[in-house]
Each structure stands twice: as structure tokens, then as C-alpha cells.
Amino acid sequence: MKAGNITAVYTIWLREMKKFVRARSRIVGNIAMPFFFLAFLGTGITSSLSFGGGLAGLSYLDFMAPGVIAMTLLFSSMFSGISVLWDKEFGFLKEMLVAPVSRISIVFGKVMAGMTTGLLQAFIILAIALLLGVNIVSAAGVLVSVIFILLISMSFVSLGIAFASRMRDMQGFQIIMNFLIMPLWLLSGAFFPVQGLPAWLSVLSYMNPLTYGVDGLRANIIGVGGIPVIISVSVLAAFSVAMISLGAWLFSKTEV
């Protein structure tokens, strides 16, 4: 990659990070919902639910915490594509596109920013989970979970950029994102085990790439997973490569 493109990646990453830090309402909103899920839903259900089988002895709060992290990454990553629409709206994207840098470097800058903010949010939520009593298996497991956090963020930031590249209507983008997010979220095993589901629902769950991200986080954070970690990493990595390739290709055809 040329020096100019590397500078472009860094500049776009820095711009997106400054926007994130300055948008305090966005930070509060991204953290408040996971906190309420863990503090109220997780704690409340823990008092009245017990797992059986391979999950026996595991509290629902422990089970739910990795799923809440994945849910936050999904929502924030997918909606980060809206920055492309804002840049279209205010003319900044046109200035970037006529700059002497590759369009792919613009995509990489936005993806890197999404991965960085995703990692920050994930560790804030993990800290909240610890304060609420979630049992973490080991510090090494948390470090390995960073791989899954980055892959989830990369995948869905790229997917959000891909859709935003072909759209102009901000409201339409939000509708499409909600339409995609809900099944991805509900079929990922974030809030209930995918093992033991009816056959048709189990097939849909295992077709969902987020399922492998949730299971990988759960295996490394609380030590309970239903899918071998190497399979989860492989599936999620392949999906990430596919999505960033799609996002880069569609963005390269963007016209303003």
C-alpha cells in the first residue's frame, strides 16, 4: 500500500474516532442498553432459571454476558455505515473520492475505526459484567476473545458500508439495517442455547455467522462453548474477508 493510502487510512480512522468520542450521547446509548440487559434481564432471569445438560451450574447472567457483547458489536458495527450516508449528505464523501488515494483505503479507514470503537465498547461491557458478578474463566481467554471481537466488528462494519454505498436515503438504510439485525441477533444464540433447538431453527442458527462469534466469545470468556473454537474462528474469518471484499467493491462503484 502506498504511503498516501496509509495516511488516508489513518486520517479517516482518526476522524471517525474523534466523531465517536465527541458524540457523548452515542457512547451513553451504546453502553446503556447492554447495561440494562445485564443488570435487569440477566440478573432477573438468573434468579428463576437454571440450565441443565452441559450448561448445568452456569448462571444465566454468565451465559448472557458474551451474547450482550456480541449484540452491541452487531448494532454499533452495522449502523456505523450511516457515516457514509452522512458524508454523502454533507459533501465530504465527494471530497474524499476526488482525493489522490484509493477508494479501498477509505473503506479500510472506516473499518479500522469501527473495529477500534467495537473493542472499546466490548471491554466497557465486560467491565460492567465483572461488576455484576459474571465469572470469567481466565485473562488468557479474554485476550483470545479479542480476535472474535475484531472479526465481528470487521464483518458487520463492512456489511454496513456495503449497504450504505448503494443507498442515499438515511431512513431507508435504518429500516434495512433493522430488518437484517433482528434475525442475526435472535438466531445467534446470544440469549438462549442453539443446541437442542428444533431442526429447522438449528439450521438457520448455524447458517448465521454471528452464531460462531457468540460461541467463540462464550467459550473464551466463561469457558462454555458448543462449537470448536478453530471452526468458529475459521467461519468468522472467512465471512469477514467476504464482507470487506464486498464492501470495498461496492464502495469503489459509489457515485456522488
pLDDT at 37: 81
Q: Which of 20-34, 42-56, 87-101 has the lowest average pLDDT?
A: 42-56
What range does the domain containing 198 cover?
3-252
Cα torsion angle, 46, 51, 56, 61, sign: negative
pLDDT band at 216 (very low <50, low <70, confident <90, very high): very high
Give percent of the chain above pLDDT 70. 92
pLDDT at 4: 63
Overall domain count for the chain: 1
pLDDT band at 235 (very low <50, low <70, confident <90, very high): very high
Nearest Cα residue to 96 out of 158, 4, 8: 8
pLDDT at 53: 54
More confident residue, 115 or 32: 115
CB 134, CB 55: distance < 8 Å: no
**Which amino acid, 164?**
A
CB 115, CB 158: distance < 8 Å: no
The chain-wide mean pLDDT, for the chain, equals 84
For 126-158, the pLDDT digits (tens) are 999 888 888 888 889 899 999 999 999 999 999
CB 109, CB 16: distance < 8 Å: yes
The Cα 217–Cα 148 span in angstroms is 6
pLDDT band at 212 (very low <50, low <70, confident <90, very high): very high
